[in-house]
Amino acid sequence: MIRVMDERDSVAWLHRRAGFGLPPAEMRAAIENGFAAELERMLDPSAIADAVSADPWDNEQLPYDPEDRPSKRYAIAGWIGAMVATEQPLVDRMAWLWHGHFVSALDKVRVARLMVDQVRLFQTAGLGDFRALLRAVTIDPAMLVYLDLRTSTSVTPNENYAREMLELFTLGVGSYTEADVLAGSQALSGWTLEREGGVEFRPRRHDDTLRTYLGVAGVHDLDTVLDAVMVQRSLPLFIAAVISQGFLGVVDPELEAEVAADFTAGGFDVAELVRAVLTAGGARSSSPLVLGPLPWLVIAARVTRARPDIFDVVPLLRSAGQLPMLPPNVAGWPGGAAWFNASSLVARTNLAAVVAAAATDEEVLAAAEGDDFELLAELLGLSSTGFEEDSRAALAATPAGRDRLAVALITPEFMIA
Closest CA to 262 of 276, 248, 283: 276
pLDDT at 3 > cutoff 90: no
Q: How many domains does the chain have?
A: 2
Letter for the amino acid at 40? E
Give every CB contact of residue 394 below 8 A, 6+ residues apart in sequence.
407, 411
**pLDDT reported for residue 2:** 47
Average pLDDT over residues 107-136: 97
Task: Give 41-93 pLDDT, tens digit per residue.
Answer: 999 877 777 666 678 999 999 999 999 999 999 999 999 999 999 988 999 99
**pLDDT reported for residue 51:** 63
Same domain, 227 and 145: yes
* Helices and strands counted in the chain (H then E): 24, 4
Same domain, 299 and 399: yes
Q: What are phi and psi of 200, to 5 degrees?
A: -140, 140
Establish if 369 belongs to a structural domain: yes
Establish if 364 belongs to a structural domain: yes
Same domain, 147 and 227: yes
Establish if 282 belongs to a structural domain: no
Same domain, 314 and 408: yes
User: H or E stretch including 201?
Assistant: strand 199-201
**pLDDT reported for residue 145:** 98
Same domain, 297 and 409: yes
**pLDDT reported for residue 285:** 62
Establish if 61 belongs to a structural domain: no
pLDDT at 141 > cutoff 60: yes
Same domain, 319 and 393: yes
3-state secondary structure of 99: helix
**pLDDT reported for residue 45:** 79
Task: Indicate the residue among 232, 257, 275 that finishes a domain.
Answer: 232
Average pLDDT over residues 149-153: 96
Establish if 408 belongs to a structural domain: yes
Structural domain range at position 377: 293-415
Same domain, 300 and 208: no
Task: Indicate the residue among 207, 232, 257 that finishes a domain.
Answer: 232
Same domain, 195 and 302: no
Beta-bridge partners for 199: 193
**pLDDT reported for residue 335:** 86
Task: Give 12-43 pLDDT, tens digit per residue.
Answer: 999 999 999 999 999 999 999 999 999 999 99
Task: Indicate the residue among 232, 256, 282 that finishes a domain.
Answer: 232
Distance CA 225, CA 7 (A): 44
Q: What is the mean pLDDT of the chain?
A: 95
Please give the full DSSP string across 91-112, using - where no structure is assigned.
HHHHHHHHHTTS---HHHH--H
